[in-house]
Each structure stands twice: as C-alpha cells, then as structure tokens.
Amino acid sequence: MKGAPKLRTAPRALAAVPDAGPRPTPSDADLLRMFHEMKLTRALEDRIERKLYRQGKITGGVYVGRGQEAISVGAAMHIRRTGEEDRDDIVSPSHRDMAVFLMQGIPMERILAQYMGRRTGLTRGRDGNMHMGDMRHRVVAFISHLGDSIPVAAGCALTFKMRGTDQVSFCFFGEGAASRGDWHEGVNFAAVQKLPVIFICNNNGYAYSTPAAQQMAVAHLSDRARGYGIAGSSHDGNDILEVYDAVGGAVARARAGGGPTLLEFVTFRMTGHSAHDDAGYVPKRLFEEWARKDPILRLGALLEERGLVDAAAVRELDERLESEVSQAVAWAERQPYPDPAECLEGVTKE
Amino acid sequence: MATEASRLRERPQLRGRKTRHGAASAADPIAGMMPGPLRPPVNPGLKRAELLAMHRHLLLNRLVEEKLSALYRQGQIVGGLYSSLGQEAISVGSAFALRPDDLLAPMIRNIGSLLVRGVSPRDLFLQFLARYDAPTHGKDGTLHFGNVEKKSLIGPISHLGTLIPVMTGAAMAARMRGEDRVALTYIGDGGTSTGYFHEGLNQAAVLKLPLILIVENNGYAYSTPTARQFAVESLAERGPAYGCAGESVDGTDILAVYAATLRAVERGRRGEGPTVLECRAMRMRGHAEHDDMRYVPKRLLEAWRGRDPIGRFEAFLIEEGHAVRAELRSAAAALAPELERAAAEALASPLPPPEEALKGVYWEPGYERPWWPSA
Amino acid sequence: MALTTYVEAIRQGIWEEMDADPRVFILGEDVGIYGGAFKVTEGMLEKFGEMRVIDTPISEAAIVGAAIGAALMGMRPIAEMQFIDFISCAFDQITNFAAKNRYRWGAGVPIVIRGPSGGGVHGGPFHSQNPEMYFVHTPGLKVVAPATAHDAKGLIKASIRDEDPVIYLEHKYLYRRIKEELPKGDYVVPIGRAAVRREGRDLTIITYGAMLYQALEAAEVLTREGGIEAEVIDLRTLLPLDKDAILASAKKTGKVLVVHEDTKTGGIAGEIAAIVNEEIFEYLDGPVLRVTAPDTPVPYSPPLEEFFLPNKDKILTAARKLAAY
C-alpha cells in the first residue's frame, strides 16, 4: 500500500566493494546494556513528549524517536570512546537520536535543561530541543536544515584520514534529509575521498506528512550507494541485533580504510512529526502493525528467552528508570534561565 | 560549554592515509577515462536526408566554434569561450531526437543543440560579441539565453546543475497542461557532484517526469579528472540509484547518442519517468580558451584522437553509401561563406547603449519582450 | 626592488601559514594540480602534498561543510570558491552552520572561505558579483576585503589565524594590476581595522576593494582642480566595521561619501549612513552620500558594465556636490 515501507530481512552488500571483514557479536552484557539504553531513551522521551510538553514545561518543539530506538542504540554501541582525542570516534546525530547523546555520556539532566531553555542546558538556552552538541562528548550539534550535517561529518572524517588514524565518523539522518543537495555532495565527497564515514539512514516511513514513496523512487535508500560506488545495504531497523551487526560491519570496513557505507534501517515513526502533530495522515493500522514489531519488546523477548531477564527484573528496571528521569526533571526545573544580556555573548570568540 | 583546549590543536600529527581515489586503478589512474571499444555506428532507421542533415549540423557546430575561436584570438570575443571539440555528436545527436516543441536547455558546451533547434550562427556570434542585437541585448554572454514560447528553449546560468531542477519544473508544468512534451538538458561529469543534480533528478524520478538528463562525461571538470569527482565506474549508475533508467553510450558515435536519446524521449512520453544518459567522450581542448590543459596526459588525448565524431560519422556515411567524400567536403565549403557573412554582420552590429543596463530587471510596461525578437 | 602582485601576496600568505601550521589546509575545485583557476595555490600541491591541497568535486556545499567538520576536529581549513559568485551554493552551510555554531554550543569554526569577487573583467552576471552583504548581515561571520597587496597578505594570515569563520573577498580586477613591495617576515593586518589611505580635512570618502583606486584618483583631481582635500578611508574589514575610524573621520570633515562596487540597496553604504546619522549627526555639514552600482545584475557587454560600475568620474560628481554644501 502507498507509503508502507518494504522490509528486507537479509542485508545486501555490493559485490564490487571490499568486504567488511570480521565484526563483533554482542555479549550478554552488551544485550543487557542495549536493553537498558533503549528503555532509558523511551522513558525520557515519553516523559518529555507525553508529560512535560503537555504541561507547558518545554520551550519550543519536541521531536522524539519513539519506536526507532534500536537504530541509535545499536549503532552507538560501536562508537569508540577512550577519552583520547586521536582515538575517539565522532558522531553527528539527528533529532530522533536521543540515545546517542545519552550513550556518549551527556547527562539526562542537562538534556532536560536544554529542552526547558535553561542556562545549564547544553546550549545555555541559545537553541532548543535536540539542537545540541559537545565536542568533549564527541557529539556534533546539527541544525534544522537537515542534510547539512552530512558534509560536516565527512569533513570530520577527512581529518581522520589526514591524521592516518582509524577513527570513524558516524552520521545519522532521515530518509527525507537524504533528498537534500548537501546530502548528495557530502556522500559523493566521502566516496571519492574514501573517508571513514558511516552513513546511517533512519527510514521511519514519513518525513512530516510525506511518505517515503513520495520522497524517493527507489525501494531502498541504500540503492543510492551504487551511484556513489560505495557499499550499501538495507536492514530491519527494529531488530537491534541486525542494526548492531550491520553497523559493526561498516565500522570494520571504515577502520580498515575501505571507505564509507550507506546503511538504511527501516522502521516506523510511532509519533507525529513533532509533539504538536497528530499524524492524522498516517493510516491507523500502520501504527498497530508496527507496535507489534516494537524494538524494545523484541529484544525483551529475546532476553527472556535466554534467561537474562524476567518480568520482575523488567518491572524493576522500568521503575528505576522512571525514578531517574523524575530526579533529572526535578533538577532541570530548578535551573535558572539565562540572563537576558547573555543574548549578546558568544557570537564570535571573545 | 565545550572548550577548545586540546593538545592536538597545537600539534597535529598528520601522517596521512593513502587511499585510492575514486574508481581509478592504482596501476593506471586514467584507465577509466580511455575510450571504450570502437564499434561501427548502427543506423537506427534514419533516411539519407536525415543523416545528411545530421552531418550538416555537426559541421556547423565545428565551424561555428572554429570561427569563435578565431575571433577570440583576434581579441573580439568578450569574456570566455568554451569549446565542445570532440563532443559535438552529443549535442547534435541528442537534439535531433527531440520534437521542436520539446523543452531544451543547453549548457556551455552544447552549441550544437542550439543549432539543431534553429538558433542562427549570427545570434550566437552576437552573443559572444556582446552586441545589442544579441538575444540578451548584451546583458549576459555565451549561451545564457532562451525563449520558451517560440523555441521551447531555457537558458542556463553559470551555477552548474541548477538547470536540472528548473527543467524538472518545466516538465511538471507541461504535464499539468496535458502536454506530452519532454524536457532535455545536459550536465557534465563535474556537474553531477552538485546538490542541484541530486535534488532535481530525485524530484523528477519520484514524480516520473519526462526529464532526459544527458550526462556528458568528457573526462575532466576544468583540471579535475573523473577519478577525483566520483567513485563509480559509470554515471549511468545514477539512474537506478534514483529509481529511474540509466544508460551509457559512446558519445563520439552520433547515431548511438541519437538512438539512446530517442529511447529516453519515448520512455518519457510513455510516462515511465526520467533517464540518465551518460555519453562518453573526451574534452579535446582546455576548460576554456585560456586553458592549455597541461594537466591532461598526452596519451589520453592521443587515444581519443581517433574517435573524432565527425570523422567517424563521415566514414559511416561513405561506407554505407549515403555520400561520397567530395559531397561531404562541399557541404563544409558551402557553410563557410554563410558563417563568414554571419560573423561580419555580427562584428558590424552596434554595442548596446549604456542605459540598457538598467532595463528589464523587473517587468516594465513597454519593455515586455524586447529580448531576441528574431527567436 | 622586488614587487609583489596582489594575487602573489595572497599566495604567499597562504603558503607561509601552511608552512608554519600543519593544521592549515586547502580544499576547492582545481586548487591542486591546476594551482587554482587564478593560480592562487600554484605550487602548493607539490610542496604540501595531496593530503593538504585537495581537489574536490563540484560541490560548494560539501566544500564548506567538510571545512566545518574538519575545523570542529581542530584543523584550519581554507575553502576556495572558484568564483565568489558560487558561494551562494554553500549559503546554508555558511550562514546556518558555521556562523551559528559558537553561539549555540560553543564550538567555534575557524574556517576561511575565500574567492575572487568583483567586476570590470567582462565576466557577466555570474563571474563579477560582490556578495558581501549576505554575509555582513549574518552575525557570527567576519567579512574582509583587502585592496592592497600588503593587506591581502596580512589579512589572509589574520583570517587563517582567526577563531571564527571569515569570508575573505579578493577582488579579481586587482589580482595582477596591483604590485607593491612587501615587508619581509611575518606580519598580520588586524581584522576590524580600517586604514586611512589619504588624509584630508574637507570631506571623507569611505570605500573598499577595487574602488579604493578610483577614490584615490578622484581625490587627486579634487585637490588639483579645486583645492579640496579629501580623506580616503579603506575599510579593509566589512564585518566588524571599524566604527571608530569611520566616526573619527566623519567628525573631522563633517562630510561623508561612501563608494562601493556593490549594488545600492542593502549595500554597506546604507549601514554606514545610519551609523553616522545615529552617532554624530551634530557634526555633519551635509548629507551622507553614496556612489554605488545600480540595483541590477552585473551586465556583460562592456558599455553596460561601464555604466554599471562606479568610477572616478561618478565619484567626482558626488564629491563636488557634497563639497559645495
């Protein structure tokens, strides 16, 4: 039916491109961690969108990644963090990648303060919601002009090539942003220069009200890879093991000097475009279908199967996360607003 | 807030990582730019008169450009001059596949397409000489002119790739009005790297518009070889990469270009969407007249010298019995005085009056359509 | 004595910075093997290698975007726009990414975006533009426009060393027409400081870029023919404007004429007139006048372009009118 994203269950890779080589498999600890991170992300974003926003406590808009958490979490597991600038990877997330920020060590409280426009938010109240970054946490802040971050991510990777390190640049974007000219220029540049970039497309079916079939004429965004001479494949974005595996392979390729990879993860946007959008243009049954494929449910089922969690442990985790989120919200609500005169500061280096 | 203190910012260790650029092979960086196998042209069903008309336009293309080059050396040309030597089959062959009312937008190396469309050499000379009677009244140079109503012609700007979204929109409008006109434009191998290429082609593919994008892969974008422009072997890959048709042909074989363009045109008229048609040739002169192209390996030029599109087509015409060499020579000879006359008229034509600079920025009554009255 | 052209001065400035600081590198179209369309980067590929002199695809947005990314990682990129007219293809990256990055999350973007601007070379509408005001209007950027070979070298060094994104506008008309003897050794021209090129007490002409030479010629004529002493200020930096220099001269002469090759509406002359009006109205003995190009695209044919461009005679007409107040 029109707009429904097609699923591929098996990853594809281009024959002409060097193989990714050996990739890591997640340990039990990794699986538990991924479960935790997805649940934390969901708890935090639910609180922001369903409670705080409706209570009028958020300044500006809210854009969450409900239902798409496996992509950010599965990918972020591969971001190398040692604290050393010439070893750490760099990541350029987009607005539905909350988990990336959390997993890169940015405290929840500061993200909430950011949403509330407070002085101690990541941008000191200069920008809102997910428009934040911190180079100490190796996170590049994106701008509203989606697609602009792609050449920037390529530029970070250019530096890695110049330094001769095996650092990698992770770049997240939606299927809509991939229609932008800047996206094309960035991917082509990374391809011709063989830069270590992982291009991660969150194809969640809709760009605001535009279904993916009206965004592109290819069945899969990864079909674009052949036009750049790079590796590309499409995957089930709600299967965190598939995400973990695909990104792991791409990272291995990049670190080995094999150049960029274009990965498409097919998922579904389980909300409106933003908190104020009721997504009336989306057929209701799509929400029902995709709810059954929820990434957290699926990983939870696997963990139970393997005896790594039980119902009680999950309940306890949920309660603990709720409490952590509440504490962070309380901290954020106590934070002062910036002084009005601060508006004039920090435009250029002082 | 993030700080900027970092030891790496003081003393970066730039060891560098050697990577192979693009699709080039380490052994021979220009292997991908050499001409493909030489195949004899195949007549897709054109009659003798049509074949000779094609030949005449190829000659006209070359002779017009030779005349422009001569004028340039005499210091008469205002601004730059860009040649399509070695690529004439692409402009002429593709334009021949269009109906007169199909939308056409040439780029800087497509004088041949304008000649097929019926633009006079005199108008071209006037443009390059910046005269008042030129289609732009001297406001802009080279091929930066058009006329949509009379010639279905849209003029380019210097920003490469910008024509593609524009032609997508033109095709969209034609369809809205129930017309079955197609839209054809050109882009170079370098121009495919622009964001405009991407946005325009993607839009055309999604909307299944009849856009024919002739990708002139002539090996170089100024001094940048294709190995530094992209990492695919053939730009035809960009067709399926956008969910539309993609094809690659020998750009020095005018009949191959014509046949492939016709296929693309018919595909478009059937409502099956755009085609990316890569035509491979070699830029036999510099980026522009002032460029001596010393960065092009001599052996690459040598390899392509045997692929001159006019030479190949003439060999075909003679071989297939459509003409003898003497006829072809006299066709060229017949054109020469015509061009001399056109050039002389253009040289004698006045420059624009200074105040013309202020006219036509916006619509103004009494100045609605002064441009290119002879369109 | 050895004279250095304006274009060679830029080349020297870039070369010396690249030599001294391994973080500095260049990316752009035809900058490597070709040495740049105007030969600004001639010889640099051989000297510094292809890792630091990068021939890019035709992708202005990616050129600037990649420069931003590399700058975030500690490098000091110089992004070349082959003709500054093509800077519009990177408008988003410059105004929305680079310009706002520090303000939003404290990550400065020390990049230089440079290229040849200006007309007078029969370049037509797309090879003759003066786009400075799109960027002067964007907080977070710096915009410089040297008029002399000395300043070209000093300002490119200052731009490369600056912690914020700088748009460096070279005037192509001046490339090989200006030749000067340059000081030996390292020197920098500070961003944000204008220069008094000619002292005078009767009226102030404020200008920048290629128009400096037209203004100086006009000033000579004013003295010779009417004993009018014009003071000529070369702005050198458009953002931030050297308000102190502008106001000091305006107070001294009481008569201000602004000359720029950029088109009239939205050109910096309007901004300067507003500043002078706001801050030192009492000192004025006449209105702030301006000589600019008209509000049209840059036309191609020589008589049209001549009509379009400001020149010594147009400056004289305005100066005489102002002097008569």
Domains of chain A: 28-334 (3.40.50.970)
Give the whole-angstrom CA distance, residue B79 versus residue C298: 13
Closest CA to C298 of C286, C289, C287, C306: C306
pLDDT in tens, A81-116: 999 999 999 999 999 999 999 999 999 999 999 999
Q: What is the CATH number of domain C195-323?
A: 3.40.50.920
B:335-354 residues touching chain C, CB 8 A cutoff: 351-354
Q: What is the ipTM of this complex?
A: 0.90
Tokens 């005679």 sit on residue: C313
C-alpha neighbours within 13 Å on the C-beta side of residue C293: 26
Asked if the bond preceding B240 is cis, omega within 30° of 0, the reply is: no
- The overall average pLDDT reported for chain A is 92
The predicted-structure confidence for A216-274, as pLDDT tens digits, reads as follows: 999 999 999 999 999 999 999 999 999 999 999 999 999 999 999 999 999 999 999 99
Q: CB–CB of C101 and A156 under 8 A?
A: no
Catalytic residues of C: 127
Distance from C-alpha of A150 to C-alpha of A177, rounded to nearest angstrom? 9
B276 neighbourhood in chain A, CB within 8 Å: none
- Per-residue pLDDT tens listing for chain C (325 residues): 789 999 999 999 999 999 999 999 999 999 998 999 999 999 999 999 988 999 999 999 999 999 999 998 889 999 999 999 999 999 999 999 999 999 888 888 999 999 999 999 989 999 999 999 999 999 999 999 999 999 999 999 999 999 999 999 999 999 999 999 999 999 999 999 999 999 999 999 999 999 999 999 999 999 999 899 999 999 999 999 999 999 999 999 999 999 999 999 999 999 999 999 999 999 999 999 999 999 999 998 899 999 999 999 999 999 999 999 9
* Cα radius of gyration rounded to whole Å, chain C: 20
Min distance A297 CA to chain B CA atoms (Å): 34
Q: Which amino acid is at A339?
A: D
Q: Are the C-beta atoms of residues B85 and B62 closer than 8 Å to each other?
A: yes
Chain B interface includes A17 (CB < 8 A): no
E strand spans, chain C: 4-5, 24-28, 53-55, 76-80, 112-117, 142-144, 166-171, 179-180, 195-198, 203-207, 230-234, 237-239, 256-263, 289-293
- Chain C within 8 Å of B19 (Cβ-Cβ)? no
pLDDT at A20: 60
What phi and psi values does residue B277 have, to the nearest 5 degrees? -115, 105
| Å between A108 CA and nearest CA of chain B | 16
Edge-to-edge strand list for the sheet holding C289-293: C195-198, C230-234, C203-207, C256-263, C289-293
Which pLDDT score is estimated for B7?
A: 42
pLDDT value at B367 more than 80: no
CB atoms A164 and B17 under 8 Å: yes
- Interface test with chain B among A104, A126, A224, by most B beta carbons within 10 Å: A224
In whole angstroms, what is the distance from residue B54 CA to residue B97 CA? 11
- Cα C126 from Cα C119, distance rounded (Å): 10
Mutate to test the interface with C, among B3, B10, B17, B78 (most CBs of C within 10 A): B78
CATH 3.40.50.970 region(s) of chain C? 4-180
In this prediction, residue A173 carries a pLDDT of: 98
Burial label, B323 (beta-carbon count in 10 A; 0-12, 13-18, 19+): middle
- Tell whether B24 lies on the interface with C, counting CB pairs under 8 A: no
Residues C73, A156 contacting (CB under 8 angstroms): yes
Q: Which fold would CATH assign to domain B44-346? A: Rossmann fold (3.40.50)
Q: What is the pLDDT of residue A12?
A: 36
Kindly report which listed range (A28-42, B87-101, B182-196, C101-115) carries the lowest average pLDDT score: C101-115
- Which of residues 233 through 262 in chain B touch C, CB cutoff 8 A? none
Give residue B369's pLDDT band: very low, low, confident or very high (50, 70, 90): low
Three-state secondary-structure class, residue A134: strand
In the three-class reduction of DSSP (H, G, I as helix; E, B as strand; rest coil), residue B330 is classed as helix
C43-53 residues labelled b (16+ CB within 10 A) or e (exposed):
ebbeebeebbb
Q: Is the pLDDT of residue A290 over 60?
A: yes
Q: How far are the Cα atoms of B1, C98, C135, C164, C182 from residue C140, in angstroms, in the given order?
A: 17, 8, 9, 7, 31
CA distance A145 to A175: 14
Q: Cα–Cα distance between A49 and A2 in angstroms, integer?
A: 28
- Tell me the chain A residues in contact with residue C56 when contact means C-beta distances shorter than 8 Å: 189
User: Which among A326, A331, A300 is positioned nearest to A43, based on CA atoms?
Assistant: A326
Looking at CA atoms only, how far is residue B197 from chain A in angstroms? 8
Mean pLDDT across the stretch B256-275? 98
| Exposed/middle/buried for residue B32 (C-beta within 10 Å: 0-12, 13-18, 19+) | middle
**Whole-number Å distance between alpha carbons of B123 and B342:** 8
Average pLDDT of B198-213? 96
Interface test with C, best of A119, A348, A349 (most C CBs within 10 A): A348
pLDDT at B17: 63
Query: Any idea what DSSP says for residue B226?
Result: G
**Domain ranges (residues) in chain B:** 44-346
Q: How many CB atoms lie within 10 A of CB C295?
A: 13
Q: In this predicted model, which residue has the larger pLDDT, B25 or A237?
A: A237
B18: pLDDT confidence band, cut at 50, 70 and 90? low
Pairwise pLDDT comparison (B111 vs B370), residue with the higher score = B111
CB contact under 8 A, C102 and A346: yes
| Burial of A314 per CB tally in 10 Å (0-12, 13-18, 19+) | middle
The answer for residues whose C-beta is within 8 angstroms of residue C37's C-beta and 6 or more apart is B222, C29, C30, C82, C83
Query: Which long-range contacts (C-beta less than 8 Å, at least 24 apart) are formed by B117-120?
Result: B117/B151, B117/B152, B117/B153, B118/B151, B119/B151, B119/B153, B120/B342, B120/B374
B194: left (phi over 0), alpha (psi -120 to 50) or beta: beta
Using one digit for the tens of pLDDT, what is the confidence trace for B293-328?
Answer: 999 999 999 999 999 999 999 999 999 999 999 999
Interface contact flag, B357 C296, Cβ < 8 Å: yes
Tokens of C168: 């460096």
Q: Tell me how far CA of residue B6 lies from CA of A85, A153, C72, in angstroms.
A: 8, 20, 12
Does the domain spanning C4-180 belong to CATH 3.40.50.970? yes
Q: At C77, list the tokens.
A: 């990129």
The band of B19, judged by pLDDT with boundaries at 50, 70 and 90, is: low
Phi (first) and psi of residue A28, to 5 degrees: -60, -40
CA distance to B287, C104, C153, per residue, from B81 (Å): 9, 46, 32
Q: Do C74 and B230 touch (CB under 8 A)?
A: no
Q: How far is Cα A176 from Cα B206, in angstroms, rounded to an integer? A: 13
Give the span between the Cα atoms of A154 and C61, in whole angstroms: 12
The yes-or-no verdict on residue A13 having pLDDT over 70 is: no
Of B8, B206, B208, Cβ closest to residue A85: B8
Q: Between A and B, how many residue pairs show a Cβ–Cβ distance under 8 A?
A: 128
Question: Do B231 and A191 count as a contact with CB atoms less than 8 A apart?
Answer: yes
Give chains near B: 3+ CB pairs under 8 A: A, C
